[in-house]
Structure 1
Amino acid sequence: MSDTAVFAAGGVVWRMVEGRLLVLLIHRTAYVDVTLPKGKVDPGETLAETAVREIFEETGIRVSLGVPVGVSRYRMPNKRQKIVHYWAAEASDEAIRDSAFVPNKEIAGLEWVSPRKALSRLSYPVDIEILENFLKLVGDGILSTFPIVVLRHGKAVSRDDWKGADAARPLTDRGVKQAAAAVGPLRAFGVRKIISSGAVRCVATVTPLAAALGKRITREPGLSQDAWEAGDAQVRAVVGKRVRTRKPAVLCSHGPVLPDILAELALATGTLRGSYLGSASALEVGAFSVVHLSATNPGSGIVMIETHEPKV
């Protein structure tokens, strides 16, 4: 029997009703248990995509992911290890109204309960631990968040192989595939605003996302490598505006510019600088870091940063 781990993802789905925090529990039919929504990764999916898909399939509720709230590990009856990644995920009133959930052979029902009741009703200690992680954030005053995603462009034709202007360098075939593959993971975090360096390789990286969302790309010269090399980059102004608007956004730029973007995000939110900023900005082509900020008080500091590698 293979000892290869099985990966899955899910979420702590929450909503506010008349000022009260409620979380969503799943009553499963076959297992006669109470759990958090989750499911196995499908081939070609990232964990973030899996979490959004599984929450929708089990509850009918479309969500965008908030902050990560932990990873559970346990042995299944066949002795293989199961590793489940969880995110917080707010269920909007509109998403709940749009849910077409009906009891089925897998899910007997859904239940919105207070966190205290949820802790007493969950069937498994690993789920209780995940909910407790979520409640620690709530206790720290962090509930509603928004992401600013820092994306490095996909693989481009090298400078040595390109005779034209650097800003005109196109993506390679691999870069085109990376751009397409990034759409699902970026949508999982609810990105709505797309801001890019004007360089061809950056614009091409976010073009599939813009098409999928039906959004236009805002070309920002202040994020370009040419401006950065000339000392004319306007990273502070771009980042400051994104923090003030408190809307989910992606900033697509270049390797040398990324450390400045992360540093300005720390500065704009009153966050202590540390080595974690370097790790979050040292992205390979096609990778991105999700910077989670408090929607009610973004100046309280970066809540969390997670980095996602390209699928191709």
Structure 2
Amino acid sequence: MSETAVYAAGGVVWRLVEGKLTVLVIHRTAYADVTLPKGKVDPGEMLAETAAREIFEETGIRVALGVPVGVSRYRLPSKRQKIVHYWSAEATAEAIRASAFVPNKEIAAIEWLSPKKALARLSYPVDVEILENFLRIVDDGVLRTFPLIALRHAKAVPREDWTGPDAMRPLTSRGARQATSIAGPLQSFGVRRIVTSDAVRCVTTVAPLAAATGRKIHRTAKISQDAWEEGTAEVRDVIGRRVRARKPVVLCSHGPVLPDILNEIALATGTLRGSYLGSASALEVAAFSVVHLSATNPGSGIVAIETHEPKV
């Protein structure tokens, strides 16, 4: 990230009404404009976390993020560049019913529009471009998606400083902070299942996420480093189950195992393998790659991959 740029995040929030696609725009009070929900990154926040938070704060609707739909860049009156990352986000019927939105000093109104009307009503060309990006994905037959999230465990005590079994190596104090810092961003993608290597450093990495979501931690040796080194890992079995389940999941594992996880996702979805898989699996500690798949036809291939790194 640039030190001088202003970073923000938001989304194209959508829902189906009697089978027809509608998108949400906001009417801002101070600017008397029509735009997409978005807002600036808070200190220590990761972009995905910002997007989900800002959508909720401006619309009252809690969403899980879908595929990334673009980045807008423009100059502020201060001459600083503003960079805004956007995701698609479905507003479920339950989330809309739970919304407590009322007009306020920032947002005068929220409005559901057809894509055609929204394109005509949006006040800024950068917003139009983001909505057009989203509609291109829809035209490709992809609307609802689910993520498989490959997570590398947080910073652990080095092997050379540890005398016990490798699987028992704990996180360092920095690793513990990383584990806490990534719980919010992971939660932004609507995680409903947590699967992890049974190594202590992996289980401890997902513990804050489990606490935040109330989800059980499913431990397995099938994606552990010990099993991988012994040649007994069963990555294909784990990935096959998760693709068939079509639910948002975090898979916490180890640096050497991650390339196999990404390759198996590609194989399970009929996706051509390429260098992008190497980039998505070459993760720093506590970093994660979100692989988006079509909820209606996961075998049609990977829709998008995005990688996030912790700020701690």
Indicate the TM-score class for this superposition, using the shorter chain for normalisation: over 0.9
SS in 2 for 1:67: strand
* Residue 26 (structure 1) aligns with: 26
Q: Which amino acid aligns with 1:207?
A: A
Q: CA deviation digits over 1:48-78, x for unaligned, max 9? A: 1111111011000000100000000111122
**Deviation beyond 3 Å, 4+ runs, structure 1:** none
1:308 aligns with 2:308: yes
RMSD of equivalent CA atoms:
1.0
The aligned counterpart of 1:255 is 255
Query: What does residue 110 of structure 2 align with?
Result: 110
1:79 positional shift = 1.7
1:154-303 pair list within 5 angstroms:
154-303=154-303
Q: Is the contact made by 2:46 and 2:310 (CA closer than 8 Å) also made in structure 1?
A: no
Task: State the shift of 1:132 in Å.
Answer: 0.2
Specify the code of the residue in structure 2 equivalent to 1:51: A
Question: How far apart, CA to CA, are the structure 1 residues paired with 2:103 and 2:206?
Answer: 39
Residue 289 (structure 1) shift = 0.3
Asked if residue 88 in structure 1 is aligned to residue 68 in structure 2, the reply is no
> Once the 2 structures are TM-superposed, how far is the Cα of residue 301 of structure 1 from its aligned partner?
0.2
- Alpha-carbon separation, structure 1, partners of 2:244 and 2:307: 23
Shift of 1:158: 0.8
Q: TM-score, normalised by structure 1?
A: 0.98
Partners of 1:304 and 1:207 lie apart in 2 by 27
Task: Name the residue aligned to 1:101.
Answer: 101
The whole-number CA distance in structure 1 between the counterparts of 2:262 and 2:287 is: 14
CA distance in 2, matches of 1:201, 1:116: 49
C-alpha distance after superposition, 1:174-205 (max 9, x if no partner): 11111111101100111110000000000010
Matched AA of 2:95: A
TM-score when normalising by structure 2: 0.98
Cα distance between partner residues in 2 of 1:106 and 1:157: 47
Distance 1:290 1:273 in 2: 16
Residue identity opposite 1:294 in structure 2: S
The code of the aligned residue for 1:251 comes to: L
* Superimposed CA distance per residue, residues 138-158 of structure 1 (whole angstroms, 9 cap, x where no aligned partner): 000011000010000011111
Q: Supply the distance in 2 between the matched residues of 1:49 and 1:182 (Cα, whole angstroms).
A: 9
- Give the gaps of 5 or more residues in structure 2: none
2:255–2:283 Cα contact (<8 Å) kept: yes
Amino acid at match of 2:200: V
Tell me how far apart the structure 1 counterparts of residues 43 and 179 of structure 2 sit (CA, whole Å): 18
Kindly provide the amino acid, as one letter, of the partner of residue 137 in structure 2.
L
Aligned equivalents of 1:291 and 1:101: distance in 2?
A: 32
3-state SS, counterpart of residue 66 of structure 1: strand
Matched with 1:68 is: 68
Distance 2:245 2:213 in 1: 19
Give SS of 2:65's match: coil
Letter in 2 for 1:166: D
Output the CA distance in 2 between the equivalents of 1:298 and 1:83. Answer: 31
**2:153 partner amino acid:** H
| Aligned residue-pair number | 311
2:55 aligned residue: 55
CA distance in 2, matches of 1:57, 1:310: 23
Q: CA deviation at 1:216?
A: 1.2
